[in-house]
C-alpha cells in the first residue's frame, strides 16, 4: 500500500495575523510557517502505520501545492519520516485549484490511500480532501479520528454528532482526518533531519485550472468589551449579572 | 432558480441546527427573489418535516429509498446533486458540521460550484456573490467571492437566529433508487453517547482547563453543567493528559463552538484555545492569574481558584433555579 499525505503550509498557530494592501493580503513579514496541525497528525498516523509491518504500507509520500518558499515545511515532513515528496509549483489559488493539482498527482503516481487534514488553519475551508475524492471518483470518509489497516482493509472511526461509527472502506480511498488520529505529532530527530537533506522532492508544473472563489478582503474581529471582574467570594453576583444583564441564564 | 437546503435528520428528528438552516435558506431566497426548498434524505418521524415549513422554506422534498439510512458520501452527493439540478438550485446550503464538511466539497466538484464554508452571516452581496466566513482560525474573517453560477454555503452552527414564520410548506415525496454497487462505506458499529447535551448543540458550555489540577476535581464542574443544562468541555492539555475525552476538547484543533455562554474554568486562554470559542456570545473566565489572556476575551471574570469558586457557583445557580 502506498499512502499520500497532503500537507498545507500555514502560519504558526500562535501568529497574530495582520493584513496589507487594504486588508486584501496577509502580511507575511515575520511569520513562522509550519505544517498545518491536522496534516502533521495525519503524517504521524501514516508513519505509525508504515512502522507496523502487518499493515503492508510500503511508502509514505507527502504532496504540497505551493511555491519554492514552502520547501522548508516539506523538508520538515521528510525529516519527520516521509519517504519522498511532491511539490506542485504554484500559488495555492483556491481550494478547487489545489484539489485539482493534487488529483493530477494521484492519477500519475497511483496511491491507495490519500490522507488530508480536516481543514487548514489559515482558510478554514474543510474542502480540499472532499473535492479531491470527487475529482478522482474515490470513496471518502470524513471526520476520521482513528484509522487502522486490518487484512488489507481500512478500518475507520468517524465522528458523528453525539457518537462514533466504525466503518470499512475499500481502497483507493480519501480519508479526511481530525483530532485523535494520532496522539501527538511526531517530532523530527537529528538523524531524520540529516536524512531529509537527501530525500527527493519531485517538482511538478501545475495544470491550468480556473479558480471558483476569490478573497475580496479580510476583516479583524470586533474587539470585545473589557472584562467585568466579580469578587471571588461572591459568585452569586456573577450569576445575577448573567441572568439580568447578559440575559443568558 | 431556487435555494436548496439539505436538512439532515438525527434518528428521524430535526433539531435547532436544522431550523437555523431553514431560516437562513429562506432569507437567502428572499435576497435572490426565489423559492427555498428543503431536502430531507431518509426516514423521519411523523410531524418532523412539517416543522421545517415553520421557518420559511416553501417546499420540502422527502427523499426515501433503500441505502439512505447511513451516510455514504458518494451516494448522498449524488442524491443532493440530482435534486439540485432538478430544482435549478443556484445556492445550496448545508451545515458546517461533520456531514456538511463531508458532502459540500464533493458537491462543489460535482456541480462545479464554488464553496464558502463556515459562513456566519447572510451573504454580503448577491451580485457579486460574497459571503462572510471565519479565517485564520477565528483571528480574522474573510469576505469570499464565489464566482460560479451555482454556490455552495456551509453555515456555522449557532450563528444565525431562527426566524419563525408560522407558515407551512408543501411536501413532495420522492423515491430514490440507490445503485447498491455505489455504496462503499460499510458501517460496522455505532456508538452513541446518550442523555448528554451535545457540545456542538449546547447553548451553554462549562469547560475546564489545567487549573482544575486533577481529573478527580471535575464533579462540581459537571454539577454546574447539569444544573444549567449545559455541555461539558475541556482545553487541549486536559484531553491530551486523558483527564477528559478528546470529544470534549474545544479549541483550534478540537471543536469550534459558538454557544450563548461559555464558562472557561481554570483555562489560561492560549490563542489556540480562544480560536475555538471566540464566537461565543458571552465568555466567563475563572482563573487564579489576573493577567491570564482569557480575561481579554471574557466579559465576566473571577480571579480565584476553580476549586473554591465552583461550589459557590453551584450554590448560586441552585438558588436561582429554586425560585
Dihedral of the alpha carbons of A96, A138, A184, B257, in degrees to the nearest 10: 60
A247 touches chain B (CB under 8 A): no
- Tell me the CA end-to-end span of chain A in Å, nearest whole number: 54
**Beta bridge partners of residue B171, listed in sequence order:** B60
Q: Which of A240, A239, A152, A217 is nearest to B144 (CA)?
A: A217
For position B196, what pLDDT does the model report? 82
Are the CB atoms for B64 and A133 separated by under 8 Å?
Answer: no
Contact with chain A for residue B236, Cβ under 8 A: no
Q: Is B86 in CB contact (< 8 Å) with chain A?
A: no
Instruction: Output B115 or B192, whichever has higher pLDDT.
Output: B115
Residue closest to B118 by CA, chosen among A248, A135, A64, A120: A120
The residues, ordered by sequence, that sit 6+ positions from B276 with a Cβ below 8 Å of its Cβ are B138, B250, B251, B252, B254, B255, B256, B257
Residue A200 Cα, gap to closest chain B Cα (Å): 30
Q: What is the pLDDT of residue B193?
A: 80
Q: Is B261 on the interface with A (CB under 8 A)?
A: yes
Complex-level ipTM beyond the 0.85 threshold? yes
End-to-end CA, chain B: 52
| Closest-CA residue of chain A to B224 | A239
Q: What is the DSSP letter of B195?
A: S
CB B4 within 8 A of CB B35: no
CA distance B99 to chain A (A): 8
Q: Which of B101, B92, B157, B96 is nearest to A131 (CA)?
A: B101
- For A162, which of B144, B193, B313 is closest by C-beta distance? B193
Q: How far, in Å, are A2, A175, B130, B277 from residue B121 at the CA level?
A: 42, 30, 11, 17
B135, A13: Cβ pair inside 8 Å?
Answer: no
B126-147 per-position pLDDT tens digit? 999 999 999 999 899 999 999 9
Report the candidate in B132, B279, B140 with the shortest Cα–Cα distance to residue A23.
B140
DSSP string for residues in A63-119 = EEES-GGGHHHHHHHHHHT-SEEEEE-S---SHHHHHHHHHHHHHHH--SEEEEES-
- For residue B195, pLDDT over 80 is answered with no
pLDDT per position as a tens digit, B174-186: 999 999 999 999 9
pLDDT at A13: 87
Cell of B274: 480562544
One digit per residue, the tens of pLDDT, for chain A of length 249 reads: 999 999 999 999 889 899 999 999 999 999 999 999 999 999 999 999 999 999 999 999 999 999 999 999 999 999 999 999 999 999 999 999 999 999 999 999 999 999 999 999 999 999 999 999 999 999 999 999 999 999 888 999 999 988 899 999 999 999 999 989 998 999 999 999 999 999 999 999 999 999 999 999 999 998 888 999 999 999 999 999 999 999 999
- pLDDT for B167: 87
Taking CB atoms and an 8 Å limit, are B143 and A141 in contact across chains? Answer: no
Q: Are B201 and B90 in contact (CB under 8 A)?
A: no
- Bridge partner residues of A140 (DSSP): A174
Residue A93 CB neighbours (<10 A)? 17
CATH class of A2-221: alpha beta
Quick one: pLDDT at residue A5? 98
- Give the pLDDT confidence score for residue B157 in this predicted structure: 95
* Residue A187 burial (C-beta neighbours within 10 Å; 0-12, 13-18, 19+): exposed
Mean pLDDT over B256-279 rounds to: 95
Domains and their CATH numbers in chain B? 2-182 (3.40.50.620), 204-322 (3.40.50.1220)
Q: What mean pLDDT comes out for the span B270-279? A: 93
Q: Which residues of B touch A211 (CB under 8 A)?
A: 147
CB A132 within 8 Å of CB A63? no
User: Does the pLDDT at position B194 exceed 80?
Assistant: no
Which of B204, B296, B317 is the closest to A239 by Cβ? Answer: B317
Amino acid at each position: 500500500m502506498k499512502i499520500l499525505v497532503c500537507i498545507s503550509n500555514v502560519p504558526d498557530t500562535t501568529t497574530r495575523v495582520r493584513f496589507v494592501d487594504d486588508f486584501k493580503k496577509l502580511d507575511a513579514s515575520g511569520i513562522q510557517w509550519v505544517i498545518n496541525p491536522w496534516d502533521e497528525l495525519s503524517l504521524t498516523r501514516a508513519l505509525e502505520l508504515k512502522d507496523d509491518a502487518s499493515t503492508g504500507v510500503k511508502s509514505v509520500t507527502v504532496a504540497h501545492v505551493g511555491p519554492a518558499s514552502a520547501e522548508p515545511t516539506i523538508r520538515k515532513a521528510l525529516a519527520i519520516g516521509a519517504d519522498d515528496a511532491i511539490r506542485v509549483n504554484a500559488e495555492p489559488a483556491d481550494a478547487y485549484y489545489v484539489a485539482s493539482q493534487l488529483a493530477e498527482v494521484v492519477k500519475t503516481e497511483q496511491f491507495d490511500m490519500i490522507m488530508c487534514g480536516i481543514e487548514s488553519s489559515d482558510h478554514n475551508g474543510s474542502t480540499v480532501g472532499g473535492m479531491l475524492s470527487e475529482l478522482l471518483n474515490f470513496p471518502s470518509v470524513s471526520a476520521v479520528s482513528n484509522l487502522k489497516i486490518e487484512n488489507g482493509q481500512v478500518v475507520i472511526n468517524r465522528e458523528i454528532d453525539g457518537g462514533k461509527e466504525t466503518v470499512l472502506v475499500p481502497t483507493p480511498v480519501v480519508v479526511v482526518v481530525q483530532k485523535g488520529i494520532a496522539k501527538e505529532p511526531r517530532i523530527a530527530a537529528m538523524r531524520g533531519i540529516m536524512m531529509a537533506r537527501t530525500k527527493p522532492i519531485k517538482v511538478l508544473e501545475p495544470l491550468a485550472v480556473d479558480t471558483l472563489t476569490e478573497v475580496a478582503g479580510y476583516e479583524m474581529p470586533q474587539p470585545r468589551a473589557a472584562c467585568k471582574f466579580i469578587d471571588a467570594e461572591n459568585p452569586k453576583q456573577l450569576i445575577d449579572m448573567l441572568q439580568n444583564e447578559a440575559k443568558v441564564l | 432558480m431556487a435555494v436548496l437546503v439539505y436538512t439532515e435528520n438525527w434518528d428521524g428528528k430535526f433539531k435547532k441546527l436544522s431550523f437555523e438552516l431553514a431560516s437562513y435558506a429562506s432569507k437567502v431566497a428572499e435576497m435572490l427573489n426565489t423559492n427555498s426548498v428543503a431536502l430531507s434524505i431518509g426516514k423521519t418521524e411523523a410531524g418532523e418535516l412539517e416543522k421545517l415549513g415553520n421557518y420559511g422554506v416553501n417546499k420540502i422534498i422527502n427523499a426515501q429509498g433503500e441505502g439512505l439510512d447511513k451516510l455514504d458520501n458518494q451516494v448522498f452527493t449524488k442524491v443532493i446533486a440530482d435534486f439540485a439540478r432538478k430544482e435549478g438550485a443556484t445556492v445550496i446550503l448545508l451545515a458546517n458540521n461533520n456531514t456538511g464538511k463531508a458532502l459540500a466539497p464533493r458537491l462543489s466538484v460535482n456541480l462545479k460550484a464554488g464553496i464558502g464554508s463556515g459562513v456566519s452571516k447572510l451573504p454580503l452581496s448577491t451580485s457579486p456573490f460574497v459571503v462572510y466566513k471565519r479565517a485564520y482560525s477565528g483571528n480574522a474573517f474573510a469576505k469570499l467571492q464565489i464566482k460560479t453560477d451555482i454556490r455552495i454555503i456551509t453555515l456555522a452552527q449557532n450563528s444565525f437566529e431562527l426566524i419563525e414564520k408560522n407558515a407551512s410548506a408543501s411536501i413532495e415525496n420522492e423515491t430514490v433508487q440507490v445503485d447498491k454497487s455505489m455504496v462503499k462505506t460499510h458501517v460496522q458499529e455505532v456508538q452513541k453517547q446518550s442523555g448528554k447535551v451535545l457540545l456542538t448543540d449546547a447553548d451553554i458550555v462549562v469547560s475546564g482547563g489545567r487549573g482544575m489540577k486533577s481529573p478527580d476535581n471535575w464533579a462540581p464542574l459537571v454539577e454546574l453543567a447539569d444544573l444549567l443544562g449545559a455541555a461539558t468541555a475541556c482545553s487541549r492539555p486536559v484531553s491530551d493528559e486523558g483527564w477528559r475525552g478528546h470529544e470534549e476538547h474545544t479549541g483550534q484543533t478540537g471543536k469550534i463552538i459558538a454557544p450563548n455562554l461559555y464558562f472557561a474554568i481554570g483555562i489560561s486562554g492560549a490563542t489556540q484555545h480562544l480560536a475555538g470559542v471566540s464566537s461565543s456570545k458571552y465568555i466567563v473566565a475563572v482563573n487564579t492569574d489576573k493577567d491570564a489572556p482569557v480575561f481579554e476575551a471574557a466579559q465576566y471574570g473571577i480571579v480565584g481558584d476553580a476549586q473554591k469558586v465552583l461550589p459557590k457557583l453551584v450554590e448560586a445557580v441552585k438558588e436561582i433555579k429554586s425560585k
